[in-house]
A and B are shown apart, each in its own frame.
Chain A
Amino acid sequence: GAGVSQSPSNKVTEKGKDVELRCDPISGHTALYWYRQSLGQGLEFLIYFQGNSAPDKSGLPSDRFSAERTGGSVSTLTIQRTQQEDSAVYLCASSLGQPRLNTEAFFGQGTRLTVV
């Protein structure tokens, strides 16, 4: 597709269950980012993938959160043993290169996760 695609668009899960969120970046984009936006809060950086380099995981809030990027393309964000405070919109973005090179980031529509 032409843009960043995320699935599912909405996910309701029970507390304690694991969830997987998927991001399909724009073809050819080497950089991929995951962000989280909790209700009433600004966007929060979670993790950053750049090409084949080790990801920058400095924003992951706990060890229940993990992400991988297979083949330098699709990424999956996994949240284990979900908690109610994990409820948020999870946004994925991709760009051609590193932001320090002033490349524009393109965002997906987000996955709205609700933990009940």
Chain B
Amino acid sequence: KNEVEQSPQNLTAQEGEFITINCSYSVGISALHWLQQHPGGGIVSLFMLSSGKKKHGRLIATINIQEKHSSLHITASHPRDSAVYICAVIVGRSRGGADGLTFGKGTHLIIQP
């Protein structure tokens, strides 16, 4: 079982719809990233959060540390939001590779006009 699980794996929606992408993790973490990857492969960090909620434009990220769950919401979705959204956690204790990030497999989002 992956330590970071995202759902859904694929999501197709119409322009204007409210989008929710979920991330659950099974390990103790110190923080969580939401990343956006466009078809060319480049990655942009959208949010890093360790508690509560953050908002940037039409994007909102929430995290519940007790429930080991985070959500990324997109309001008034637009075709340019089409991308892969990746959840990544920073694990709180060191082990092989764990001073970096542990990634979910990503959610492929397509917003149709």
Contact = CB atoms under 8 A, between A and B. Distances in A.
Interface of A: 33, 35, 37, 41-45, 48, 50, 56, 58-59, 89, 91, 93, 98-100, 102, 104-110, 112
A60 to B, nearest CB: 10
> For the side of the interface on B, what is the size category?
20 to 34
Given A100-B30, A102-B90, A45 B42 contact: no
Interface string B86-106: 101010101011011111111
A106 B86 CA distance: 14
B42 A58 contact: no
B41 A37 contact: yes
Contacts of B42: 107-110
A112 B85 CA distance: 19
Contact of A56 (B41, B45, B96, B106): B96
B43 A102 contact: no
B13 interface: no
B103 A42 contact: yes
B43 A45 contact: no
A11 to B, nearest CB: 12
Contacts of A59: 96-97, 100
22 contacts: A35-B100, A42-B105, A42-B106, A43-B86, A43-B101, A45-B97, A99-B90, A99-B101, A102-B30, A102-B31, A102-B50, A104-B45, A105-B45, A105-B101, A106-B45, A107-B35, A107-B44, A107-B45, A109-B41, A110-B41, A110-B42, A112-B41
